[in-house]
Structure 1
Amino acid sequence: MAHTIFPREKFSDPRLTAKGDARASVAWHGLKTLWLNTGTLCNIECANCYIKSSPSNDSLVYLRLADVTPFLDEIDALGEGAKEIGITGGEPFMCPEILAIMGAVLERGHRLLVLTNAMRPMMRPRIQAGLEPLHERFGDRLTLRVSLDSHDAALHDAERGAGAFDEAVKGLSWLAARRFNVALAGRMALHEDEADAREAYGQFASRIGLRLEPSNPAQLVLFPEMIAQDDPPEITTACWQILGKDPADIMCASQRMVIRRKGAAQATVTACTLLVEDTAFELGSTLAEATAAPVSLNHAWCASFCVLGGGSCSA
C-alpha cells in the first residue's frame, strides 16, 4: 500500500527545504561586528519596522551596562584588537544607560556605530550633553547612523507619522553643525533604482549641510524594501554557486547581536539583527556559544534580505 508523502512547508526544517534539498547554512568566520539591541521600545511606530519596535513593545527590554560588559570582556579575551560595535533598537537613546554603554565601548578602543532616528530621544538635553564630550574625546570612532524611510518627506511620514521627517531633519542638522561623523540608512522604494536613490539622498544631505558621500556604502546604507508576506525562494547549498555568492559575505558569518528578553535572567546572543522573534536564532548566552555551529538559513528574510537582497546592517 502506497504512503502519501505530504510536502514540507517552506522554512520549516533547518536541514531541508520544502522540496527536500539541502538547506544552505553559514559557518562562523570571525567577529566583525557585535550588535547590542537596547530594546524594542521606540518613540515611534513605523508601518514596516523590521522588529516591530513601538512605544509599547517591550518584548526586548533595555540593556544595562552590566549586560554588555561580559561581552566586551569576551572580545578582549579574543586578543584580536578593536572591533565594530553596533547599537540598535528600538530607539537606543531611550535606553537609560545608553551613554554609559557608549562610553564603555569607546574606552576599550572599539569603533562604535549607533543607529538612531535622530528624533526627540536623541535631542533631550541630557543626551546632547553626553554626546558632545564623547564626540570630542573619540572623534570619528563614533558614528551615528540615522535611519530614514525615504529622502522624500511625504513617503517618510507615510511610514513614520506626520512631522517625523522634519523632526529627523532637526536632529540631523544638530549633528551636522557639530561635525559628528554621521551616516544615513535609507530604504529604496520597490520601484526605485539604486543610482537614483543615492543621488536623491545625496542632494538631501547637501541641503542640510551634512558631510556625506552618497556613493560610499558605509556613509549611505540602502536597504532593500522588505514585505512581511514576501515569498522568496529557499536557499539551498547549490545556490551559492548558482548565485555567485560566498557564504562568508553573509551577515551571520561575522556578526551577532546581544538582546535581553522581557523576564529573562540574562542577556543572550542571536544570529541576526532582524530575527529577534524567532527563538531558533537565539544561540546562547556567550559569544563562544553563539558562534560554535553554522547558522541554518531557515527564514524568509535570510533569503530576501541577506542572500538575494545583499543587505547587511554593518558598516
Structure 2
Amino acid sequence: MPPHRPLDPAKFRDPRLTARGEPRAVVAPLALRTLWFNTGTLCNITCRGCYIESSPRNDTLSYLTLAEVEAFLDEAQALPGTPLREVGFTGGEPFLNRDLPAMLRAVLARPGGLRALVLTNAMRPMRRRERELRALRDEFGAARLVLRVSLDHYDAALHDLERGAGSFARALDGLLWLAREGFTVHVAGRAGFGGEGEAALRAGYARLFAAHGIPLDAADPVALTLFPEMDATADVPEITTACWGLLGRRPDSAMCATARMVVKRKGAPRPVVVACTLLPHDPQFELGATLAAALRPVSLNHPHCARFCVLGGAACSR
C-alpha cells in the first residue's frame, strides 16, 4: 500500500530539509512509555476516512500472535531506563484477532501494573468476546483495562455517513453494554466533523451520555478524546526546528518521543517496529525489528506528523 503523499510534491521529500531548505523538525526518543500493537488491518466495517484503510478485505497488516506480543512485552520491560506504562491495541478492529483476550491477559498479568487500552468500534467482534472481557474484569479489575469506543459524532446520521448505515446504533449498544458491565470506557470523536466548535461538540456528547446514563464526563479530554481531522486532500505546512518555539510546543510532546508500534506485514516472517500508530505503511518510518533498534530519532517527514501531532496537538494514547 503506498504511503499518503502531500498535495505539494516538493514537500515531505527530504528527511533533513523542508521544501524551503529549512531544517526539518526531529523528535528524539525520551522513553518508551506506550507500546502499541496493530493486531491487523482487517475490520468488520469500511470507513470513508480511515487513515490506515482498514476494511473486511484489507489484510496488508497481518494478525499478530500472542507469542509475538509477549516477546515485545518482554523486551519493553527489560529496556533500561524505560518505564513502560501502557500497552495499546489498535487495528483494524482488534477484536477480530482471536488472540486479543489472551494478549490483554498477558499485559494485565505482568508486574508493574501496566494499563491496557483497546481502540474498538464496539460492534459484533467485541460483543462476541463478552465472556472473556468479563473474566478479565473480574480477575484484574476494571481500572487498568480501558475500552475506547469510536463515535465520530454524537449525531447518528453524521456518524453513519462515515461508518455506514446503522453503525452508530450498533456502536452505542456496545458502549452501553460496557458501561452497564462496569468497564472503564472512553469515547473517541472527531474535532472537525460536522463543522462545530469543540464546546458545541462536547455539549452534544454530554447530552448523548446523559440521555443513555453513560458515566462519562464529556468535558474531560481523556474520557472524550476529539481527534483532529486527517484529511489527506488538504495541504499542510512542514514542521521545521523553528516551529517548536513559534507554536509553543516541545518535541517531547509528540507521540514518537514516548511511543512505538509493532506491526506485521502480510507475508513477512516477523513483526517490525514503526514510529507511531499513524504511519504503519510508509517505509521511512519502519525503525527495525526490535524496540531497542527503534528507539532512535524520528524526522517529521510526513503530513500526518504536522496535521495530527504538531498542529493538531493530538496523541493516540492518554
The TM-score bracket by the shorter chain reads over 0.9
- Bigger-Rg structure (1/2): 1
Q: Does 1:301 align with 2:300?
A: no
The equivalent of 2:127 in structure 1 is 123
The equivalent of 2:147 in structure 1 is 144
Task: State which of 254, 279, 292 in structure 2 corresponds to 1:288.
Answer: 292
Task: Number of aligned residue pairs: give it.
Answer: 306
The equivalent of 2:164 in structure 1 is 161
CA distance in 2, matches of 1:101, 1:283: 23
- TM-score if structure 2 supplies the norm length? 0.94
CA distance in 2, matches of 1:188, 1:306: 14
Give the secondary structure class of the aligned counterpart of 1:221.
strand
Query: 5+ unaligned residues in a row in structure 2: which ranges?
Result: 1-7
User: Alpha carbons of 1:238 and 1:183: their partners in 2 closer, same or farther (altered >3 Å)?
Assistant: same
CA distance in 2, matches of 1:18, 1:281: 19
Structure 2 residue identity aligned to 1:138? F
Post-superposition offset of 1:277: 1.5
1:47-102 deviations in whole A, cap 9, x for unaligned? 00011000000000111011111111012213655510001000000001111111
The equivalent of 2:46 in structure 1 is 45
CA distance in 2, matches of 1:259, 1:10: 27
The equivalent of 1:132 in structure 2 is 134
Structure 2 residue identity aligned to 1:176? A
CA distance in 1, matches of 2:54, 2:209: 26
User: Alpha carbons of 1:96 and 1:305: their partners in 2 closer, same or farther (altered >3 Å)?
Assistant: same
The equivalent of 1:4 in structure 2 is none
CA distance in 1, matches of 2:256, 2:263: 16
Post-superposition offset of 1:8: 7.5
Post-superposition offset of 1:189: 2.7
Give the secondary structure class of the aligned counterpart of 1:143.
strand
Give the secondary structure class of the aligned counterpart of 2:260.
strand
Cα pair 2:32 2:83 within 8 Å, conserved: no
CA distance in 1, matches of 2:286, 2:159: 32
Give the secondary structure class of the aligned counterpart of 1:74.
helix
Structure 2 residue identity aligned to 1:86? G
Structure 2 residue identity aligned to 1:35? W
The equivalent of 1:265 in structure 2 is 269
CA distance in 1, matches of 2:85, 2:224: 20
Task: State which of 196, 199, 203 in structure 2 corresponds to 1:195.
Answer: 199
- TM-score if structure 1 supplies the norm length? 0.94
Structure 1 residue identity aligned to 2:21? G
CA distance in 2, matches of 1:226, 1:121: 25
Give the secondary structure class of the aligned counterpart of 1:50.
coil
Structure 1 residue identity aligned to 2:268? A
Structure 2 residue identity aligned to 1:210? I
CA distance in 2, matches of 1:138, 1:199: 33
The equivalent of 2:98 in structure 1 is 96
Give the secondary structure class of the aligned counterpart of 1:93.
helix
**How does 1:163-242 map onto structure 2 within 5 Å?**
163-190=166-193, 191-242=195-246
**How does 1:48-87 map onto structure 2 within 5 Å?**
48-78=49-79, 83-87=85-89
CA distance in 2, matches of 1:163, 1:215: 27
CA distance in 2, matches of 1:192, 1:50: 22
Cα pair 2:32 2:84 within 8 Å, conserved: no
Cα pair 1:62 1:95 within 8 Å, conserved: yes
CA distance in 2, matches of 1:207, 1:104: 36
CA distance in 1, matches of 2:126, 2:186: 15
The equivalent of 1:3 in structure 2 is none
CA distance in 2, matches of 1:117, 1:111: 20
Query: 5+ unaligned residues in a row in structure 1: which ranges?
Result: 1-6
User: Alpha carbons of 1:184 and 1:8: their partners in 2 closer, same or farther (altered >3 Å)?
Assistant: closer
Cα pair 2:33 2:84 within 8 Å, conserved: no
Cα pair 1:24 1:237 within 8 Å, conserved: yes
CA distance in 2, matches of 1:166, 1:81: 39
Post-superposition offset of 1:202: 1.8
Give the secondary structure class of the aligned counterpart of 2:51.
coil
Cα pair 1:8 1:17 within 8 Å, conserved: no
Post-superposition offset of 1:239: 0.7
